[in-house]
Chains A and B, each alone.
Chain A
């Protein structure tokens, strides 16, 4: 029973409408336009270069790496953060007291600035840090930020550290929604622990897990701060994310046109990937009859 009130409706939505005009639609159209120019952000004149920027981008190692690095981060980050947050959620859920104290404690990393966590990690992983000196004494010598997979792992681990508490919070509310009686009934039927997890917990938790997974996949498309501070996209493009590539081209090399073309490609890749991931997750849920 909503009230019909167009004037007020438009007035209340006007802040958003103006905003989206100036900071969404405007930039969007401008971006398409720029992508076909060779403008350098400073010069008073520029030329139209057709699809040159796109062709150059598709051939450039920076863009190709950005495409793959996103999925590499998924491989590292998503399983790590899901396992960690699930562990925290299950652990905390089983505590009769101080549950919220723990949840708040685990949430604290989410408040960290990427600049700060990068600084800490940089110091912690430097060659002569206590950690590496101990490792060397044990015969392990790792160039953490200098070898491609290690660097990927380090950045993925920082992200997982940051998001674990947040996702655990989502998952605990999923756990809280499961009726105790269901478990009791299962116990009477003699269901084993493993079966209990696959047959009861997982299906009932599916909505919470789905949310968490979508959020986690989304994160991998927007990694910037940690990479910018720690590796600059290196070594040899191993951690060069879309954001990093676009930033470097636009604001380090001042190739506004070229960077806009990359941004369009990045959006396309992101759009398609997210769409496929959502579909796969839904199919997975439906197959198992969880939805």
Chain B
């Protein structure tokens, strides 16, 4: 009995050391990474956006595809959105177990991933051209070409981000339609505060939060409108329009001074009428159908493009284009990559699936024939609140495609916007600091 102790000890030590030395290989086999089971079935892992409707769509597609193709198994799951879906994907890559394919990828993040060689150029996979032609996206894909000439992302949807207004409260204040310029908005804020001191124009805790992606839904919406669609960062240089940037920050500062901004946690501020104005994505409508069925387009809320500085034409307002797509990861096996592409080809071979997507997620598909194809027209006619989102796609500027987008957009909040909203800095200084920080990072 006693003799066995040292043997046991040595054995357990040996096992530990052995497994410590088998660098990385363990991770792959643990994740079943060559993707082939004993039966020759290819398993691919699909990461869907954390938005439940998107996840539901991909689950349905995966099931239908599996039914037709017995040799492929598709596991659909949602990307963890805490701290952010981008960070979750990076951590998985660092952990040596990225998925095969995922959606919800913006251009900047794709550039970042491509830089660290984590993505497959899609045009190198058979079937890519067929997707482009069968989905009618030759024009849509054009601006998605990366600096190295490759295509890493297949855009799925593109929608103009709009602002929502509580038209019922606006009416009480004597407005038949939303204000369109900064001074009109400020005037409305004054009237609102006079009548309801507890209400705010815009109530949003995110205004004080430096997290990078949050700037898409406040700063870039207003800035794009103020600058007429200036790109902010092009290639590796900062080309921000100072006048527009300062005007945007000044607008927020004026709103703050008029007590029109509430940068703290509020439970459903727009829906409960604490605020009369909010950035609104079409995904919200599914959430409302479940939680706030009383929210009706034309009755108590309406939509508009971002307000513009005085003296600009509100009719030419621009906004931010929320547009995201699919990528396939380089760490997946060749078989998995090809299976993933085949799946995509199958999904987009019929416009019906895109129609289904549009209907379920409310996100306008990124295709050239969105406004001409009958199957999409029917959906737009049935839900008029989606129309402005689709119509304004040409007026919407896509996010920056700089691989450092995360750091850069964090600076916008940290150096300027968050501080202005808290009243710690004046707009001009905020803009200068932001510019300095961004230029420093881009060098």
Q: Classify A-B as touching or not with yes or no (CB < 8 A).
A: yes
Least CB separation from B207: chain A residue: A146
Residue contact B116 to A146, C-beta cutoff 8 Å: no
Q: Is A43 an interface residue (CB 8 A)?
A: yes
| Distance (whole angstroms) from the CB of A20 to the closest CB of chain B | 12
- Which residue from B198, B209, B407 sits with its C-beta under 8 Å from A253? B407
Least CB separation from A254: chain B residue: B90
Q: Is B418 an interface residue (CB 8 A)?
A: yes
Q: Is B12 an interface residue (CB 8 A)?
A: yes
Task: For the complex, give the distance between the alpha carbons of A144 and B424 in Å.
Answer: 17
Q: Is B16 an interface residue (CB 8 A)?
A: yes
* Chain A contact residues: helix, strand, loop or mixed: loop
Q: Is A52 an interface residue (CB 8 A)?
A: no
A123 contact set on B, CB distance < 8 A = 267
Q: Is A129 an interface residue (CB 8 A)?
A: yes
Q: Is A68 an interface residue (CB 8 A)?
A: no
Least CB separation from A247: chain B residue: B83
Residue contact B116 to A8, C-beta cutoff 8 Å: no
Least CB separation from A136: chain B residue: B198
Q: Is B328 an interface residue (CB 8 A)?
A: no
Q: Is A182 an interface residue (CB 8 A)?
A: no
Q: Is A145 an interface residue (CB 8 A)?
A: yes
- Which residue from A43, A228, A252 sits with its C-beta under 8 Å from B116? A43
A43 contact set on B, CB distance < 8 A = 116
Interface residues of A in 95-146 (CB under 8 A from B): 122-123, 125-129, 136, 143-146
Chain B interface bracket (under 10, 10 to 19, 20 to 34, 35 or more): 35 or more
| Distance (whole angstroms) from the CB of A12 to the closest CB of chain B | 9
Could you mark each residue 267-279 of chain B with 1 if its beta carbon is under 8 Å from any beta carbon of chain A, else 0?
1010010100000
Q: A18-B13, A146-B205 given as contacts; is B265 within 8 A of A126 (CB)?
A: yes
Task: For the complex, give the distance between the alpha carbons of A41 and B20 in Å.
Answer: 19
Q: A8-B5, A40-B116, A234-B208 given as contacts; is B90 within 8 A of A128 (CB)?
A: no
Q: A11-B8, A144-B264 given as contacts; is B116 within 8 A of A236 (CB)?
A: no
Task: For the complex, give the distance between the alpha carbons of A58 and B210 in Å.
Answer: 21
Residue contact A42 to B263, C-beta cutoff 8 Å: no
| Distance (whole angstroms) from the CB of A88 to the closest CB of chain B | 30
Q: Is B266 an interface residue (CB 8 A)?
A: yes
Least CB separation from A129: chain B residue: B267
| Distance (whole angstroms) from the CB of A113 to the closest CB of chain B | 15
Q: A11-B5, A234-B209, A234-B210 given as contacts; is B266 within 8 A of A128 (CB)?
A: yes
Residue contact A42 to B118, C-beta cutoff 8 Å: yes
Q: Is A51 an interface residue (CB 8 A)?
A: no
Task: For the complex, give the distance between the alpha carbons of A14 and B5 in Å.
Answer: 11
B198 contact set on A, CB distance < 8 A = 136
Residue contact A127 to B203, C-beta cutoff 8 Å: yes
Residue contact A251 to B8, C-beta cutoff 8 Å: no
Q: Is B84 an interface residue (CB 8 A)?
A: yes
Residue contact A236 to B419, C-beta cutoff 8 Å: yes
B67 contact set on A, CB distance < 8 A = none
Q: Is B211 an interface residue (CB 8 A)?
A: yes
The interface size of chain A toward B, counting residues with CB under 8 Å, comes to 35
Q: Is B2 an interface residue (CB 8 A)?
A: yes
Task: For the complex, give the distance between the alpha carbons of A127 and B205 in Å.
Answer: 10
B263 contact set on A, CB distance < 8 A = 143, 146
Residue contact B94 to A41, C-beta cutoff 8 Å: yes
A254 contact set on B, CB distance < 8 A = 87, 90, 94
Interface residues of A in 1-48 (CB under 8 A from B): 7-8, 10-11, 14, 18, 21-22, 40-44
Q: Which of A7, A145, A234: most chain B CB closer than 10 A?
A: A234
Q: Is B192 an interface residue (CB 8 A)?
A: no
Residue contact A251 to B83, C-beta cutoff 8 Å: yes
B8 contact set on A, CB distance < 8 A = 11
A252 contact set on B, CB distance < 8 A = 83-84, 87
B20 contact set on A, CB distance < 8 A = 22
Q: Is A203 an interface residue (CB 8 A)?
A: no
A232 contact set on B, CB distance < 8 A = 83, 209, 211
Residue contact A146 to B264, C-beta cutoff 8 Å: yes
B13 contact set on A, CB distance < 8 A = 14, 18
Q: Is B9 an interface residue (CB 8 A)?
A: yes
| Distance (whole angstroms) from the CB of A13 to the closest CB of chain B | 10
- Which residue from A7, A126, A248, A251 sits with its C-beta under 8 Å from B6? A7
Q: Is B93 an interface residue (CB 8 A)?
A: yes
| Distance (whole angstroms) from the CB of A153 to the closest CB of chain B | 15
Interface residues of B in 363-378 (CB under 8 A from A): none
Task: For the complex, give the distance between the alpha carbons of A40 and B9 in Å.
Answer: 37
| Distance (whole angstroms) from the CB of A193 to the closest CB of chain B | 45
B84 contact set on A, CB distance < 8 A = 252
A40 contact set on B, CB distance < 8 A = 116
| Distance (whole angstroms) from the CB of B220 to the closest CB of chain A | 20
| Smallest CB-CB A-B distances: 8 pairs | A127-B266, A41-B94, A126-B265, A146-B264, A143-B264, A11-B5, A126-B267, A42-B116
Could you list 26 examples of A-B contacts with CB < 8 Å?
A14-B12, A14-B13, A18-B13, A18-B16, A21-B16, A41-B94, A42-B93, A43-B116, A122-B265, A126-B265, A127-B262, A127-B265, A127-B266, A127-B267, A127-B274, A136-B198, A144-B264, A145-B205, A145-B265, A146-B205, A146-B265, A228-B83, A235-B422, A236-B422, A251-B90, A252-B84
Q: Which residue numbers of A lie inside 8 Å of B, CB to CB? A: 7-8, 10-11, 14, 18, 21-22, 40-44, 122-123, 125-129, 136, 143-146, 228, 232, 234-236, 248, 251-254
Beyond the given pairs A42-B94, A42-B116, 14 more chain A to chain B contacts, judged by CB atoms under 8 angstroms and listed by A's residue number, are A42-B93, A126-B264, A127-B266, A143-B264, A144-B265, A145-B205, A145-B265, A232-B211, A234-B210, A236-B418, A236-B419, A251-B90, A252-B87, A254-B94
